[in-house]
Structures are given as C-alpha cells and as structure tokens.
Amino acid sequence: MEIMEGSRAVAEAVKACRPNVIAAYPITPQTHIVEEIARMVADGELASEYVRVDSEHSAMSVCVGASATGARTYTATTSQGMALMHEVLFNAAGLRLPIVMTAVNRSLSAPINIWNDQQDTVSERDSGWIQLYAEDTQEASDMIIQAYKIAEDRDILLPVMVGMDGFILTHVHEPVELCPQEKVDDFLPSYDPAHYLTPKNPLSFGTIVYPSTYTEFRYMIHEAMKRAERKIIEVASDFRDKFGRHYGGLIDTYEAEDAEVLIMAMGSVIGTAKDAIDELRADGKKVGLVKVRCYRPFPAEAIAEAVKNAKAIAVLDKNISLGHEGALYTDVKSALYKEKGPLALGFVLGLGGRDISKNTIRSIVEKAQKAIKSGRVEEDSEFVDLGVP
C-alpha cells in the first residue's frame, strides 16, 4: 500500500490494463490523470499510442476510430469537455465499442465553476454508456480494471464511464493498494474483438439505417444494458476473489438491515454519509445507507429490494433536472412505483463543490423522521442549505 494522489491511482490502473491507444485533452480537474499517463508513455513504462488532440470531441473520435480497429482504448474528461464529446458518446455506444473513460465529475457552466458535482455525467445518462460511480480513490482505481472486463464482454460490448468526483477524489492523497501487473493480466486478458476494421476482412461500421431497422439497433443496445446488470455483479465478485476487495455489485448497503431511514446517494458523499450514520446510530437512531454504484443500467430491482423494510428514504442528488428534481430521485421513485414502498424525499445539494457536512446529513435524516411521524412528505424535492430565500 502506498500514499498517492487519486489521479495517479487511476493512471496506474490504466497502465495495468495495457490500453493500445490513449487520446485525451487536458481540462481541470482531470488533467493530473492524463499528465501522469503521458509521462508513463514518454518514459517507456506504458507501451501505448498517446494521441494529443485539439479537443475532447477529437479525443473521443480517436478512441472510436481506434476501438473500431480492435484496439483497447482509454480517455478521461470532465464537465464542458464531456459536453463537447456529447455527439461522439452516442456514436461509441451505437457502434458497440468498449471504450473506457474516467469521467471526473465537475459542474457545468454557466456560471463558470470548476468544482465538483455530477451534472456532467448525469446529463449523459441516455447516451448508451454504462455509468459507474466511485466512493473513494481505491474504488476509482479498481473500477477501471473492472470497467474493461465489463465493456469487452461479448454479451455486452458497450462503453463504460467511471465517475470520480473532481478534486475530492482526483486530488486527495490517501493510501492505495495497486493491483499487481501479473494478476491484472490474468484477470483482464488482451482485448479479442469479434469484429474489427482490417483490410484483410473489409467491413462497414456506422452506416446509415432507415426507419425499418433503427429501432432494432436501439433495442439491442437496451438489451445489452440489461444484460450488463448481471455482468457488473459477476465482475465485482471475480475482482473480490482475485484482489480481495469488494465494493458491492450494482449497489451496496451500510447499516441498512434494520434502518427506518435510508440515505441513498452516489460518489464520494457516501463517506460523509457513513460517518454521519455512525454518529446517528450512537444516538440510537436507526439510519442506514444505500450506495448506488451503477447508475446506468439503473438497478431498479436491487434498490426496491434494499429499501423494502425502510419507512423513509432520503435521496441525495448532486445534479438537478432543472424545472423538476434530482435525476436519481426521479429514477428511484420510478423503481418503487409498483410497490407499496417507503416514503421518499429528494434533496439537491453539493452543487458546484459546496461542501456536504455531517450536520447536513443529520438535518436531512430529521426531515425524513418527521415525515415518518406525520405519515406524509411536506416537500417532495428541495434544495439544501440555500443561501437565498
């Protein structure tokens, strides 16, 4: 185990996966990851083709072209950079290319803000990419290795983005255990594509389709997403058997067995929530946590099962579908629509890097307890800690 910056922990995991082609454009707070990978390539530690491009649109376009020839590819981006990739993200998923990307989570402008929330990745939830979210730097590093295993499975063949909260995880220094190269090679063999572009066997990728067949292509992506639920669970278990670390499959729970109130969230806020739950438990309050590790495909059945005995759930969203509510909250309510589930409360918080403290978690739990006592939710979804009336 070694103390290192979160960005380096991710770069080391990428190196262990031996990608053939890397294309990236620097943007805060993703820059440290691609700087470290560029150094590895320049120093001969990583035998990859590193393509320096003029924009994030070009970075993803290079990955699409390289992946179509059968290369294992990697990139990383954040915020406005991801927005600039938007068109190509759909191409990558539609072409069924198993590209892996670290999506460093950052707010979207305007106003300009370089700090963390999850608006960038949540805004790409319908692009056809599998979306995973890391709780800490160890998980962010290990998720890269798992992401390739999921993406390259021939029953899946979809790109995967690994959400990693900007600055909170990318720039923190903490102990990380890197995966030994020989074990990664055994866990993740070289990419062996069934179909790829080569002059020896000419094929066409990405040709036009007409209304008679377009729906079928979208249906097949949707079905692959559904199959990915099982694969994500399997890969997490296989990783535990190989490396001794497990973070849950589609979701994970903490102190949830007898919880009357369940906090539900994604990403680094999970750590703060666990600390708050420990204190609340010491005060005699039955509070627990559901960590949503996989956002797309959405683990509706797993969530419904995890919350079935709770009296109230409080969903934390570091994003906002303006004019409605947090995206995770909407999806959770949809998952519980057919069940006589617990009361549900939605909270939008932590936007643009605003700290989420244990006191904030405590106040949210108090509102959930108040709803349980009265039997109704006074405010379906609300902003937390607003500084304006």
| 166-185: pLDDT as tens digits | 999 999 999 999 999 999 99
**40 — pLDDT class (breaks 50, 70, 90):** very high
- How far the first Cα of the chain sits from its last, in Å, is 48
Confidence (pLDDT) at 281? 98
Q: Is a pLDDT exceeding 80 seen at residue 389?
A: no
pLDDT class of 109 with cuts at 50, 70, 90: very high
> Residues 6 or more apart from 273 whose CB is under 8 A from it?
263, 265, 289, 316, 361
| Model confidence pLDDT, tens digit, residues 73-103 | 999 999 999 999 999 999 999 999 999 999 9
Closest listed residue to residue 80, CA positions, set 28, 140, 22: 28
State yes or no: pLDDT of 48 exceeds 80. Answer: yes
| Exposed / middle / buried, residue 353 (Cβ in 10 Å: 0-12, 13-18, 19+) | middle
Mean pLDDT computed over 31-49: 98
* Mean pLDDT, rounded, for 352-377: 97
List Cα–Cα distances, 323 to 38, 105, 123, 175, in angstroms: 42, 22, 14, 41
Q: Does residue 22 contact residue 11 with C-beta atoms inside 8 Å?
A: no
Packing angle of the helix pair 56-68, 79-94 (nearest 10 deg)? 20
Bridge-partner residues for 21, per DSSP?
49, 73
Confidence tier at 385 by pLDDT (50, 70, 90)? confident
- pLDDT surpassing 70 at residue 319: yes
Mean pLDDT of the chain: 97
Count of positions (residues) in the chain? 389
| Residue entry with tokens 């899946």 | 156
Compute CA distances 386 → 286, 300, 348, 383, whole Å.
Answer: 27, 30, 10, 6
The pLDDT confidence band at residue 322, using thresholds 50, 70 and 90, is very high
Tens digits of per-residue pLDDT, 247-284?
999 999 999 999 999 999 999 999 999 999 999 999 99
pTM of structure: 0.97
Lowest mean pLDDT among 46-50, 120-124, 152-156, 383-387: 383-387
pLDDT-based confidence at residue 341 (cuts at 50, 70, 90): confident
Q: Confidence band (pLDDT; 50, 70, 90) for 340?
A: confident
3-class SS of residue 20:
coil
